[in-house]
């Protein structure tokens, strides 16, 4: 019995890196294959976040344009007339209007 315990003890000391490797492998597998914390899913989320941030920038630019246009309409009568003529395709008797369709 003593000989077997010595052999087992000697084997455990020589193979003590095995549990560390097993635990490390399990952690890596969990990182890549667990659905909630997978690296692939995190990369997809980050890509979606970047797309939404770009969309926010575009919307902020258009919002500032329309905000400045609204302020110009509220303060000046010539701008109000200009916008009304554009929106309702009105023209003065002395001018030519060209509509460009995209």
CA dihedral (13, 18, 21, 24) in degrees, to 10, reads -90
How many whole angstroms separate alpha carbon 83 and alpha carbon 89? Answer: 10
For residues 70-90, give the mean pLDDT.
77
Give, for 8, the enclosing helix (H) or strand (E). helix 2-14
Segment 18-75, tens digit of pLDDT: 777 788 888 888 777 777 777 778 889 999 999 999 999 989 888 888 888 888 878 8
- Checking if the pLDDT of 1 tops 70, the result is no
Q: What is the reported pTM?
A: 0.45
């Amino acid at each position: 019995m003593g000989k077997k315990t010595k052999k087992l003890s000697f084997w455990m000391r020589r193979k003590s890196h095995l549990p560390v490797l097993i635990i490390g492998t399990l952690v890596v597998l969990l990182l890549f294959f667990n659905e909630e914390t997978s690296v692939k899913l995190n990369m997809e989320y980050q890509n979606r976040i970047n797309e939404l941030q770009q969309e926010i920038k575009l919307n902020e630019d258009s919002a500032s344009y329309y905000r400045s246009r609204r302020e110009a309409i509220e303060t000046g009568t010539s701008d109000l007339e200009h916008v009304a003529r554009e929106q309702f395709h009105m023209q003065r008797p002395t001018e030519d209007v060209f509509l460009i369709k995209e």
